[in-house]
Amino acid sequence: MSPENVQEEAQYEDQCGRMFTGTYAELALESQSGVVAFKFGGTSLLGAKRMLHAAGLVKSAAQTARVVVVVSAMKGVTDQLLALAKLVDSGNLADAKRKADALLRAHSDVLAELQLDELDHQRVWNDLRLLGRDLLHEVSAPPRVSSEALHDSLASFGERFSARLFAAALDACDVPSAPVASSEFVLTCDTFRDAKPDLAETRERGRDVLQPLLESGLVPVVTGFVGATRDGRVTTLGRNSSDYSGAIIAHVVNADELVIWTDVDGVFTANPNESREARLLHQLSYEEAHALAAAGAKVLHEDVLPLAAESEMVVWVRNTFNPEFRGTRIGPAMNRMAQENLQRGDA
């Protein structure tokens, strides 16, 4: 690593938080297209400190590649939104309203902890407030849409809040960014709670939205989990589907690497919390990963690997809280240089 790189690493630590030491650059070398997608799960985004830490990882990658970020809701938020949908269903609007208020407060607490300067804080707070107002609006009168449609519309707020906050965390780390609602371009059928995307049209529409942002040097922060029907009704792709959203959005921007940032070191042969025999797998082909998933290992959302295999995208599963660890690589055979890098890093 050159002395310049070392200097830059020190800088990341100063600006963002703090916990980050920066080894992503080596991995990014594998990307031929120069575009990578990062998907952060809900545990990685739980609170300002974690958001800033994750933002530091994006900052590091953005030195050598264009980065698109896909976010989950903060951990626990989707469950709360679904509980809220139940309250509305049963006509308990007073409790639903209280829950909606509490959710807005929880997100504005995170905003306060990001410690943005006054003007940025105001701007983000304004966006959060508008989201909170829309959420309240949806729960404050008996629904005019089907309960299924309302369910998805309410569930989408978690990702909408977290995308806004994560974009703010990036800005706080001097990474210019823009929050993007995936409902703008992820076109789906109207099977609410389990909507299927039309990949061809999503790709076309998504490029129109994301390409100009990338070209002007911004990191798009896209909501996972969420799509919309052709007539603009919000849908969701099913529980835990934001990994799949990550793959879809990577596909849209022709990224050749998708990093699923999660809270474990990678893919294991068994659940590491349950079995002492569990071994971490450093490298898997799509077929091997698929076979593991079919045998019941919790690898990734089931639709990720077929899409990744189709476009030969490399999927990494890495631990946000242990970013120096390389994690699991799922993909086609590596070129020699990448292989050497991987081995060097492991040594």
For Mg ion, which is the closer residue by CB, 192 or 225? 225
Find the binder of ligand ASP among 44, 78, 182, 188 (CB under 6 A).
78
The answer to whether 242 contacts ligand ASP (rule: CB under 6 A) is yes
If binding is defined by CB under 6 A, does position 246 make contact with ligand ASP?
no
Between 63 and 240, CB nearer to Mg ion: 240
Of 24 and 157, which has the nearer Cβ to ligand ASP?
Answer: 157
- 3-state SS of the chain? CCHHHHHHHHHHHHHHCCCCCCCHHHHHCCCCCCEEEEEECHHHHCCHHHHHHHHHHHHHHCCCCEEEEEECCCCCHHHHHHHHHHHHHCCCHHHHHHHHHHHHHHHHHHHHHHCCCHHHHHHHHHHHHHHHHHHHHHHCCCCCCCHHHHHHHHHCHHHHHHHHHHHHHHHHCCCCEEEECHHHCCEECCCCCCCCECHHHHHHHHHHHHHHHHHCCCEEEEECCEEECCCCCEEECCCCCHHHHHHHHHHHCCCCEEEEEECCCCEECCCCCCCCCCCEECEECHHHHHHHHHCCCCCCCCCHHHHHHHCCCEEEEEECCCCCCCCEEECCCCCHHHHHHHHHHHC
Site for Mg ion in 201-240 (CB under 5 A): 240
Q: Number of residues in contact with Mg ion, rule: CB under 5 A? A: 2
Q: By CB under 6 A, name the one of 183, 241, 320, 328 that touches ligand ASP.
A: 241
Cα Rg, the chain, nearest whole Å: 20
Beta carbon of residue 224, minimum distance to ligand ASP (angstroms, whole number): 6
222 vs 342, beta carbon nearer ligand ASP: 222
**Binding partner of 241, given Mg ion, ligand ASP, none, CB within 5-8 angstroms per partner class:** ligand ASP
Instruction: Pick the closer one to ligand ASP by CB: 158 or 323.
Output: 158
* 246 scored as a contact of Mg ion (CB under 5 A): no
For Mg ion, the binding residue among 22, 41, 179, 323 (CB under 5 A) is 41
- Give the binding-site size for ligand ASP (rule: CB under 6 A): 11
Whose Cβ is closer to ligand ASP: residue 96's or residue 304's?
304
Residue 136 C-alpha from the chain's centroid: 25
Question: Per-residue contact track with ligand ASP, 20 to 49, x per CB under 6 A?
Answer: ----------------------x-------
Interface of this chain with ligand ASP, residues 210 to 239, rule: CB under 6 A: 224-225, 239
Q: Binds 158, which of Mg ion, ligand ASP, none (CB < 5 to 8 A, cut-off by type)?
A: ligand ASP
By beta-carbon proximity to ligand ASP, the closer residue of 66 and 251 is 251
| Binder among 158, 266, 327, 331 for ligand ASP (CB under 6 A) | 158
DSSP letters of 152-215? HHHHTHHHHHHHHHHHHHHHHTT--EEEE-GGGT-BB-S-TTSPPB-HHHHHHHHHHHHHHHHH
156 binds, among ligand ASP, Mg ion, none (CB under 5 to 8 A by kind): none
Beta-bridge mates of residue 280: 268
Pick from 72, 182, 262, 328: which binds ligand ASP (CB under 6 A)? 72
Q: Where along the sequence are the contacts to ligand ASP (CB under 6 A)?
A: 42, 72-73, 78, 158, 224-225, 239-242
